[in-house]
Chain A
Amino acid sequence: MSALAFLTPDAVGGAPARSPMHRLASAAGARARERDGWQIASGYPDPGVERARLGEGVAFVDRSSLCKLELHAGAPELRGVVAQASGGVRLEPRAAARSSDGTWWCPVTPSRVLALAEPGRAATVRAAALAAAGGPLEVYATVVDVTCGLAALTLAGPLAAELLARFCAIDVRPEITPVGGFRPGSIARTPGYLLREREDELLVLVGWALGEYLWTVVADAAERLGGGPVGADALAEHRERAGA
C-alpha cells in the first residue's frame, strides 16, 4: 500500500497540519495548539460563551483533523475487511457503527466505507485498515487516506438540527436519522456526508477546498441563532458532562 503513502498527513520535522478553516478560526479568536501533528483550535476567549452555546444554543467545532479513510472492496470482501480492521463491526445500510476505540465506520455504498478516527488514533486505525485490506489479489481492497480530502465541522447543541436546516435539506429528525445515522448528500449546495454522532451532535463533511466556504455559511447561519464557534476542548468537556 506504499503506493498511496503520499496521501497520509504525517510530516516529519515539525510541520503542523492545518485545517482549511484555520485562518477563519484565528480571525474568530481561536487559540491555536499543536496536538497529534495538527494545529488545533483548542478554545476561544470566553469559555462561558462556549459552554452556553453548547448547552443552550448551538456551536460549531472544526473537526477537519479527524483521520478519514476510504475503504474500497467488493461488497462481501468489504464486510470482512471492516470486521477485521474494526474488531468486529458489522455495518447495516445507512447506519454507521462505532468500534470500541471510538472510530466510526460509515457505509457509503456496499463497496465503499468511510472510517473516521480521532487524530490520536489515526496511525493505529490506518495500520489496522491496511493490514485487513492487504490480503491476496482476489480479495482486492483499497485503503485511501482522505484525511485531507474532507473538511469537517461538528454542529453541537440543542439547536444543531435547526442550524443544519439553514443550509441542508437532509432529514435529521431523530426518528429518521438516529445516532449513528450516516447520510451522504448535498450540504450547503456541495457534495457532503452527514453523521449524527450524538443526540445533539451532527458531523458534516465536505471537500477540503470548501472548508473555508463551509465555515462562512455555518457561521453566518449560526449567528442568527445566537451561536458561534467553540474550541475542541469545550466540545470534549461538553461530551464528558453529557456522558456523566
Chain B
Amino acid sequence: MARLPPQPAERIEREREISFTFDGRVVRAFEGDTIGSALFAAGRRTFSRSFKYHRRRGLLCCSGSCPNCLVAVDGAPGARACTEPARDGISVKHLNATPSLELDVMSLTDAVGGPFTPPGFYYRTFMRPRRLWPLYEWVLRHAAGLGRLERSRSERAWRTEYRRRHADVLVVGGGHAGLAAAIAAAELGADVVLADEGREPGGRLLWEGGHELARALAERARAAGVEVLRSAPALAHFDGLVPVWQGDTLHQVRARLHVYATGAIEQPLVFERNDLPGVMLSGGARRLAALYALRPGERAVIATTCDRGLAAALALQEAGVEIAAVADARGAPSAAVAELEARGIETLQGWTVTAAHGRRAVTRATLAPLASAGARAAEASGRTLECDLIVVSGGDAPASALVAQAGARAAYDGASGQFVLAELPRGVFAAGELAGDGAPERVAASGELAGLEAAAALDASLADVSRERMSLLREQLASAHEPAPAGAAPAARAHDELPAPAHDELPAPNGARAFVCYCEDVTAKDIGRGVREGYDSIELCKRFTTVTMGPCQGRMCQRSSVGLIARETGQELDAVGTPTARPPWAAVPLGVLAGRPIEPAKRSSIHGRHRELGARVQWAGDWRRAYDYGDPEGEALAVHASAGLIDVSTLGKLLVRGPDAGEFLDRLYTNRISTLKPGRVRYGVLTSDAGRIIDDGTIGRLDEATFYVTTTSSGAGAVEQWFSWWLADWGLGVHLSDVTQALAAVNLAGPRSRAILSRLTDLDCAPEAFTYLDARQGRVAGVGALLLRIGFVGELGYEIHFPAAYGEHVWDAILAAGEPEEIRPFGLEPQRILRLQKQHILVGQDTDSESTPLGAALGWAVKLDKDEDFIGKWALAHTAEHPAPSALVGFTLPDGFVPTEGAVVLDGSGAVAGQVTSARRSRQLGCVIGMAWVPAALAGDGASVTIADNGTRVSASVVTEPFHDPAGELLRS
C-alpha cells in the first residue's frame, strides 16, 4: 500500500529502507516504522488470532495497549507489533494460529463452540469421567496460551539487568503534563526521572498536531537534567518503589515523590462483531496516519461518545479518508458538529454503531439511533453503510492503575461519566488527563503545578520560590474549568465538554459476538451470564469471566465491563466500583523481573586447589565445598592409617573479647566457659530458652579477656546474630567480631599428623607440650596461626586457623610436608564417616528444632548446677525432671545395607517410634554404622531396634559409645 505524502509529524525516515520477515516473507519498511505499521503498509489486516475463539484481530489501539497485534520477535513471544520498532533483519512470527494466520484450524471453536464454551466451561465440562482428566488437561494445555518459548536458548542469549535509580521525583507519563511537571521540578534543581511508554516523549501531542511543542519540551527537560526513559512503562507502585521496564533493563526507581501523568486510555465501544479487523480506536487511526503516513482505510464510519471521535473525523478526512458518516451518541449538538457539517461530513446525533459486517475485515457498518438500538429495532430504523474502517471512541478512562497502587482513591463522577481521583496519598501528585485536566488549555498548567508542588514538598525553600507561580496556576486551572467560549475548533477543545451518555443510555449489546474483553474473548453476553450465575460484584465477575485479567490489564475493558455489570445488576457505577488495580500495569517478560542470575557463593581461599585436585564440589549452605576427591572411603581410611588434610575454613569463627566475655559466654552456653584456662579449648552447646539445641562448637580461651568461638559451618550467621542480640539486650562489656571469612582453617588429622606438623612449625608439638584440647599460637609454614588440638574426626589432629590470604600456601606446604607419609586431602563426605564413627553429632543432621542436649546424649555438656542463669537453663531443668521419651543413639548393622537417612525406627509393636538421622558404611569398622532417635526404653547398649526403609526391614544393634576409639586414647595420644 502506498504511503501518504509526507506528513508533518511522521516518524518514518523514507530514505532509509529496511526489511524483516513476517512468517518467512520479506516485509519492507522504513527506519522509524513499527512492525505493525510496516505490516499494515504491506496490506496486512489480520495480525493475530484471539485467545479462545481464534477470531481474526487487527490493529485497534496502535499504542501498545490492546492484545490484538501480539507477535513473536526473534523467537520471543509477547511483543506488540504496533509499538515494537521494525529492525532490519528480524524474524517476526504470528502467535496462536495453526497452520497460519489466514487458515487457523482452531477457529472452529468460534464456528461451533460459541454456545458451548461460556466462561468456566472447562471447569464444568471436563469434570467427568475423572479418569479422562489427564487427557483433557493435555488437550487444554496445548490449546491454551498465546505463544511458545523456545526451549533451547543459552542462558545469556537474552540477558536482563536491574538498575537501581534513586531520585527526588519520578514522573510517570511523558505527555504534555508529564513533561511540564518534570521540567518544573528539574528547573528548581530536583533530580527528576521521567518514564514514558512511548518511543519519544510527547504523548498525544505527537499525533495531534503538537509534535513540535513535544520535541521542544523534551529538549527543555533534557537541558534541565531530567533523565528521560523512553519506551519504558512503569509496571507498579510498591510503597514507593516503581519498577520501570525498558528493553532488557528493569529500572528500580525509588523516588521521594511521585507525579503521575499517565493520561487516559481511549475505550472501545461494545457492539456486534466489534472485533473485526477494520474496527479501530480513533487514536489508533490517527497515529497510523500522523506518525507512519498510512491511510487507515478508504472509507470510514465513525462512532463516538465524545469529541475525540469528531476530531478524528477531521484529521482522517485530511489524510484522504472518505468519511461515510459520524454517529455521535450524544444527543445535544456539539460545537464541533458545525465544523464537520461545513466539511460535508454527515453527523448523526444520538446515533451509534450497532454492528460491523464483513468476513475477513470490515465491509459495512450498521448505525442506529440510541433509543432503538436493539438488534431488531436497529434493522428497522438504522442504516447500513459500506466502509472498510469503523473508527470508534468510547470516551476516556483515566489510566489510574498506578496511582491507585500508590494509594489514591477514585470516585465516580456522574458529570463526566468517569471515575476520577478523589484522594491522593502524601507525596503523590497527579497531572493532566489523569487528574481531569487533559484539555489543551489546562494540561500544561496542571503539569507545571504538579512539578512545582513536588519540588515544594521536597524542600521548603523551593516552596517559597514558587509560591506565587503556584497560586497563579491554581487560579488558571480553576477558571479553565468554566465552559470554554463557543465556536472554538474541535481539535482545540476539551473532549469531555459535553456530558457523555450514561452507561444505561448506550445500546445494550447482548449478542454473542460483542466483545468486552479482547484478551480473553469475553463477550457482553458472558458478563450477563456471569452476573446471573451470582458473580454479581466486579471482583467476582472478573475472576469468573477473566475480564480485565488479560495482557491488556483492563485497559480496553474496564469501563465497559463495569458498565455492563451495573446494567445487569441495576446498580449505579460507583456502587459497582472498579476492580483492584494490581501489578503489573504493562505486560512484561518474566525474564526482566528475574534479572541477572546471581547467587552469592562463598568459597574458601583454598577452593582453587580443591578444583585442581579433582574435588567434587557441592553446595553446603551458602558455601561451595569439596565433598570428596573421588574416593571418600579411601580418604577416610588414610586418616586412620597415616594422615589427612581437610579444609574447614567454613567453620564459623567469632572473637568474644572484653572484661565480661567469660560471663557472657557462661550465660549463652549450657556449660561453664569462664573457668576455662587461657590456652585451653572446650566443647559447648548453645540452646534456646526452650532448651532446644541451636548450635555447637568449641570455645578456646586465648587470654584472660579473649575467647575464640567456633560454630558449625551452617550456623555461623545465626550464632553471630544470636550473640549480638543478647549482647544488645544485656549490654555487657564485650566486643564481638565475626572473623569467619578472615581465617582459613584446615584440620590435619591422623596418627602421623604430629610428625608432619613438626616439620612446618617451631612450636613444640610434643604430646606433653601440646596436649589434647590445647590452643597454641605459632607459625605454620611461615604464617601466623592459631592451632587447636581437637579431634572431630577421632584421630590425633590439629585445627590450624590462619589468615585467609595464605590459604593455598599453607595447604600446599602441609601436603608437601606430608608426602613421605602419603598424606591425602579429604573432603566433607569422608569427614562425615569419620565423625560418625565417633558419634559426634551434626547439629541440624542428627538434631532438629525439637532436640534438647539431654536427649541428644550431650547431657554431660549441660551444667544445671551452674549457679548463674543461662539461656535454656529453666527449660532444661524441667526436661531433666521429666525424662525424654526418645534418645539419640548409635547403631550398627552388618556390612551391606545402608539405611536412608530419614528411615523410620519401629518399636516392638511395629509402630513408628523414631528415625535414622545418619548412616554410613565404615571400611575401618567393617560394618554399617549410624545414629537414630529411638524410644528411651531401647536406648541402652545391645538393645535391638527395627529399621524400616522403603519396604526393607533390618534389625540394628544399639551402641551408645563411640564406635571408634571409645576411650579417646587416640585423640589424646
Chain A residues near B (Cβ < 8 Å) = 2-20, 23, 38, 70, 72-73, 137, 140, 142, 144-150, 162, 165-169, 171, 173, 175-176, 188-190, 207-210, 212-213, 216-217, 220-221, 224
Contacts and interface: CB of A to CB of B under 8 A. Distances in A.
A166 B161 contact: yes
28 contacts: A3-B706, A4-B655, A5-B777, A6-B785, A7-B739, A8-B803, A11-B809, A14-B782, A15-B782, A18-B805, A20-B603, A20-B804, A23-B608, A72-B657, A72-B735, A140-B733, A140-B735, A144-B737, A147-B805, A148-B743, A148-B803, A148-B805, A149-B740, A167-B162, A167-B598, A209-B603, A217-B596, A224-B159
Given A13-B782, A171-B166, A207 B602 contact: yes
B165 A208 contact: no
Contacts of B164: 165-166, 168-169
B741 A208 contact: yes
B600 interface: yes
Contact of A220 (B596, B605, B705, B806): B596
Contacts of B941: none
Interface in B146-179: 159, 161-166
Nearest to B650: A209
B631 interface: no
B247 interface: no
A6 B786 contact: yes
Contacts of A5: 777, 784
B926 interface: no
Contact of B163 (A7, A148, A166): A166
B553 interface: no
Contact of A6 (B608, B733, B802): B802
Interface in B776-802: 777, 779, 781-786, 801-802
Interface in B642-658: 649, 655, 657-658
B784 A137 contact: no
Nearest to A39: B805
A169 B165 CA distance: 8
Nearest to B601: A213
B804 A148 contact: yes
Contact of A140 (B598, B658, B741): B658
Contacts of B741: 148-150, 207-210
Given A12-B782, A207-B602, A7 B743 contact: yes
B781 A142 contact: no
A148 B742 contact: yes
A207 B740 CA distance: 9
Contacts of A213: 598, 600-603
A15 B604 contact: no
Contact of B737 (A11, A38, A70): A70
Contacts of B163: 162, 165-166
Interface string B720-747: 0000000000000101011111110000
Contact of A149 (B607, B739, B784): B739
A9 B805 contact: yes
Interface of B: 159, 161-166, 191, 252, 254, 596, 598, 600-605, 607-608, 623, 649, 655, 657-659, 702-703, 705-706, 733, 735, 737-743, 777, 779, 781-786, 801-809
B657 A210 contact: no
Given A6-B801, A188-B600, A208 B742 contact: yes
A6 B777 contact: yes
B605 A209 contact: yes
Nearest to B164: A165
Contacts of B165: 165
Contact of B739 (A3, A146, A190): A146
B868 to A, nearest CB: 22
Contact of A11 (B162, B252, B735, B806): B806
Which of A8, A144, A173 is packed against the most chain B CB atoms within 10 Å?
A144
A176 to B, nearest CB: 7
A208 B784 contact: no
B292 to A, nearest CB: 32
Contacts of B658: 140, 142
A186 to B, nearest CB: 10
A17 B806 contact: yes
Contacts of B605: 18, 20, 148, 208-209
Contact of B598 (A8, A150, A188): A188
A147 B803 contact: yes
Nearest to B800: A6
A244 B954 CA distance: 81
A4 B706 contact: yes
A5 B743 CA distance: 12
Contact of B783 (A3, A15, A23, A212): A15
A146 B805 CA distance: 11
B785 A209 contact: no
B217 to A, nearest CB: 25
Q: Top 4 closest A-B pairs, CB basis?
A: A149-B742, A13-B782, A17-B805, A72-B735
